[in-house]
Amino acid sequence: MSLVVQKFGGSSVADAASVIRVASRIAQYAKAGHEVVVVVSAMGDTTDELIDLAEQVTPNPPPRELDMLLTAGERISMAVLSMALNNSGVAARAYTGSQAGVITDEVHGKALIQKVTPGRIRSALDAGNVAIVAGFQGVSQGTKDITTLGRGGSDTTAVALAAALDADICEIYSDVDGVFTADPRIVPSARRVPVISCEEMLDLAANGAKILMGRSVEYARRYGVPLHVRSSFSGRLGTIVSDDAERMVPVDPGVTVRIADVPHLDAADPSKELSVDTTDPGLEAPIISGVAHDRSEGKITVVEVPDQPGKAALLFDVVASSGANIDMIVQNSSTTDDTVAISLTLPEADSDVALAAIEQARETIGFSEVRYNNQIGKVSVVGAGMKSSPGVSATLFRSLGEAGINIDMISTSEIRISVVTDISRLDDAVRVIHTAFGLDAEQTEAVVYGGTGR
């Protein structure tokens, strides 16, 4: 009997009707004989409404009290979901993060899980129940206060419980069908990726793919938990995130398959099952597995920084101390004098504090000017195949050049290339890159990643 952890996000349980629909999906698994643990987020806009309420009484809610308030959201959704399951004849019991043994540090609002002691959940399963657990929340080890895990916290709850319970799969349900080779709203021919490695998923997440937070993927990789990202609306197969192609995983009620054998669907025609060729692994490995994009960053350029040892380090020190997260960095030496221009990208939300901190250090660093531009977009290609394919960057730059798209900044890692362009050309950039690497559904030469048995 396999153990399945299923996480449902807020859009999957937006109202009573959605809760009933989700309960019916869970019930199918339970009735097929799987042990099921469900992690659920707050219903629809509940969390935003609770934050609004807090803001009506104070501009600065104390973090401990804010956590207490926000955790009411999952308390409601998990109780209602449990009721719906019981109503459909499936025994279920709901548990708070604290009751489920999600032990965290004491950093309210973005607590880190320290350990999971799922004794009550194990007992509930042994007694024949579906266990429903509140996502996003835990209890601090020292102070026994209620904590929240911050963004993507419910995914992390699900993965952590799956690890602690040695689950066979951790399914992350949302409103999209899985990981695609690019955002289907920008590239209509984008295709679903049936299987992807943890490293690639991490790079996609870090470069703008919103389907999974890197944090939960990191957790899954560390504990060897296979993830299955899929839609609670379609019920179709989604994307399995795993590094172990030989592992057997449940993919539907009563259906367990080897990851290497996971069938995949053509996104252009979801009814069409593509056969998977596992006889020749590696040879047809696609060079890139996906194109990610990000509109949420801005670019700071510091002009005429003295070209002296330590000045650049000082600048980054100042920015880091302001609490801003730096993403990309580019430094250009001037050819005419002894100064350099340093550009960096960072989340737009962090730009104010970073700009203020840099301005304050003007005399110490000795630059002449700071510029800020939020009209930028970042496009990234990610793929494990890049490691052994030196032509990738040439293909990338050529495709952008032919489309007349200027490249502003470039940053690379072993399996990723990111470029910054003007935001007005970002969608074009995603499309031409997707085509250049043969990812479009109609291109016969395209091999969807996962066909090699990873």
* Phi and psi at residue 167, to the nearest 5°: -70, 155
Least distance (Å) between residue 66 CB and a copy of itself: 7
Least distance (Å) between residue 60 CB and a copy of itself: 7
Closer residue to a copy of itself (CB): 3 or 92 = 92
CA angle 172/177/180 to nearest 5° reads 105
User: How far is it, in rounded angstroms, from Cα 305 to Cα 268?
Assistant: 51
Under 8 Å between Cβ of 319 and 357? yes
Least distance (Å) between residue 20 CB and a copy of itself: 6
Closer residue to a copy of itself (CB): 44 or 306 = 44
Closer residue to a copy of itself (CB): 71 or 421 = 71
Residues that bind a copy of itself (CB under 8 A): 16, 19-20, 23, 50, 53-54, 56-62, 64-66, 68-69, 71-73, 75-76, 78-80, 82-84, 86-87, 92-94, 96, 99, 120, 144
Closer residue to a copy of itself (CB): 89 or 309 = 89
User: How far is it, in rounded angstroms, from Cα 165 to Cα 348?
Assistant: 39
- The residues facing 250 across adjacent strands are 256
Least distance (Å) between residue 80 CB and a copy of itself: 6
User: How far is it, in rounded angstroms, from Cα 205 to Cα 215?
Assistant: 9
Least distance (Å) between residue 138 CB and a copy of itself: 14
User: How far is it, in rounded angstroms, from Cα 290 to Cα 273?
Assistant: 21
Closer residue to a copy of itself (CB): 22 or 429 = 22
* Phi and psi at residue 422, to the nearest 5°: -65, 140
User: How far is it, in rounded angstroms, from Cα 234 to Cα 152?
Assistant: 22
Handedness of CA 34, 25, 218, 146 (dihedral sign): negative
At which residue do the structure tokens 């309420």 appear?
53
Closer residue to a copy of itself (CB): 58 or 256 = 58
Least distance (Å) between residue 58 CB and a copy of itself: 4
Least distance (Å) between residue 130 CB and a copy of itself: 12
User: How far is it, in rounded angstroms, from Cα 367 to Cα 331?
Assistant: 14
Closer residue to a copy of itself (CB): 57 or 313 = 57
Least distance (Å) between residue 141 CB and a copy of itself: 15
Closer residue to a copy of itself (CB): 99 or 239 = 99
Closer residue to a copy of itself (CB): 50 or 330 = 50
* Close Cβ partners of 232 (under 8 Å, ≥ 6 residues apart): 8, 9, 12, 21, 22, 25, 173, 174, 175
Closer residue to a copy of itself (CB): 20 or 107 = 20
Under 8 Å between Cβ of 135 and 152? no
Least distance (Å) between residue 142 CB and a copy of itself: 13
Closer residue to a copy of itself (CB): 80 or 361 = 80
Tell me, what amino acid is at 120? R
Tell me the longest C-alpha to C-alpha distance in the chain.
Answer: 78
Left, alpha or beta for 438 (phi > 0: left; psi -120 to 50: alpha)? Answer: left
Under 8 Å between Cβ of 297 and 348? yes
Left, alpha or beta for 166 (phi > 0: left; psi -120 to 50: alpha)? Answer: left
User: How far is it, in rounded angstroms, from Cα 340 to Cα 313?
Assistant: 13
* Close Cβ partners of 59 (under 8 Å, ≥ 6 residues apart): none
Least distance (Å) between residue 95 CB and a copy of itself: 9
Question: Does residue 158 sit in helix, strand or coil?
Answer: helix
